[in-house]
Amino acid sequence: MVSSFIAGVEEGRVLRYVGSVTQSRASDIKPVSDNNANVLYQHGTLAQLVPGLFEGTTTIGQLLAHGDTGIGTGEGMDGELIILDSVAYKVSKSGLAQAVPPDFMVPFANIHHAAFQYQCERRDIGLEDLNRKIVAANGRANTFFSVIVRGTFSFIKTRAVIKQHRPYPTLEEVADHQAVFLRHDVEGTMLGYFSPVMFNGAAVAGFHEHFLSDDRTIGGHVLDAALDRGKVYSQVFDTLMQHLPVDNPQYRAHDFSHDNIVQVIEKAE
Ligand SMILES: [Zn+2]
C-alpha cells in the first residue's frame, strides 16, 4: 500500500524520505544513491576508544559535511551525541540534551544523509525483540543500515558517559564514570546503526542506538527500552566511508596489538 509522503510531512522536521513511503516487503528497502544516501560515514573507530584515545580528531562542523543524521561522543568521552536534522545534541550527566556548536570536537561518530524508508509500526515490544525483528524485516544482517524508531516508549533506560580529562583512562575504566537514566512513558526518537559482525572492532557488531526525547529532557546511549507504540524506518547502506585520524600523534603511536578490542567493546557497548 502506497501512502505517498504523508508520513514524511507528518514528521518532516526529523526525517526526509526518498520516493513514496510503502508498507511493504523488506526487499523493497534498498540502498539509494541519490544525495549519497547509500554511504555511511564513520570518523574514528570504536577500537580506538578501548585504550583511551579520546582526543577529539574532527568537529561537528566537519561531520555535517557528510550527513545530517548520526551518533557519536565528544572529546574525552564528553557525553552521548545524537544528530537529527543537522543539529547535534549532547546528552551529558544531567540527562538533558543541549545543542553543541560546530567547533565541538569528536573522536568517534557515525553520520549519513537521511533518506529513511518506512518499515512498519510496532506496539508493545521490548528492545531486544524489536531489534531482532528489524534485522529480520530488513533481511540484511551483513550490511550496515540505520534505523529510526519514533513513538512512545513505555520505558527507556539510557546512559551518558561523564567527560574524562587527560591522561585518559581506558574504555573499561570509563564504565565506572557514567550516569544512567530511566524514564517511563516518553515520546521521542531512537536512532541507531546496525553493523555486521565482521566489522566488530571498527564498530560494535549489531545495534548501537542513541535516544532523544521530543522535549529534550532525556537522551543518551540506549541500554534498554520498551516501545509502547511507534513507527520504524530503515535506511540501508552499500558503502562504508571509514575516515581515520591519521595525523593524531596518539593514534599514530599506539600499538593496538595488546588491546582486548572485541571483548572490551562487547562489555562496554
Ligand atoms: Zn553510544
Instruction: Give me ligand 1 centre to Cα 257, in Å.
Output: 24
Instruction: Give me ligand 1 centre to Cα 73, in Å.
Output: 7
How would DSSP label each residue in 125-148? EEHHHHHHHHHHHHT-TTS-EEEE
Instruction: Give me ligand 1 centre to Cα 2, in Å.
Output: 34
Predicted confidence band at 26 (pLDDT cuts at 50, 70, 90)? low
Predicted confidence band at 27 (pLDDT cuts at 50, 70, 90)? low
Predicted confidence band at 34 (pLDDT cuts at 50, 70, 90)? confident
Instruction: Give me ligand 1 centre to Cα 93, in Å.
Output: 14
Alpha-carbon gap, residue 9 to 215, rounded angstroms: 20
User: pLDDT digit string (tens) for 194-252?
Assistant: 999 999 999 989 999 999 999 999 999 999 999 999 999 999 999 999 999 999 999 99
CA distances, 9 to each of 6, 14, 15, 20, 116 (Å): 5, 10, 9, 12, 13
| C-alpha cell of residue 103 | 567547533
pTM metric for this prediction? 0.91
pLDDT at 29: 79
Three-state DSSP class for 16? coil
Structural fold of domain 6-268:
60s Ribosomal Protein L30; Chain: A; (3.30.1330)
Neighbours of 266 (CB within 10 A): 13
CA distances, 251 to each of 57, 125, 216 (Å): 10, 41, 34
Q: Which residues surround ligand 1, an ion (CB under 5 A)?
A: 221
Neighbours of 237 (CB within 10 A): 22
Helix (H), strand (E) at residue 114: none
Instruction: Give me ligand 1 centre to Cα 192, in Å.
Output: 9
Q: Which amino acid is at 191?
A: L
Alpha-carbon gap, residue 28 to 6, rounded angstroms: 18
Instruction: Give me ligand 1 centre to Cα 80, in Å.
Output: 6
Alpha-carbon gap, residue 186 to 172, rounded angstroms: 30
Segments making up each domain of the chain, as ranges: 6-268
Instruction: Give me ligand 1 centre to Cα 258, in Å.
Output: 24
Instruction: Give me ligand 1 centre to Cα 158, in Å.
Output: 9
Three-state DSSP class for 62? helix
2-6, 32-36, 40-44, 66-70: least confident range: 2-6
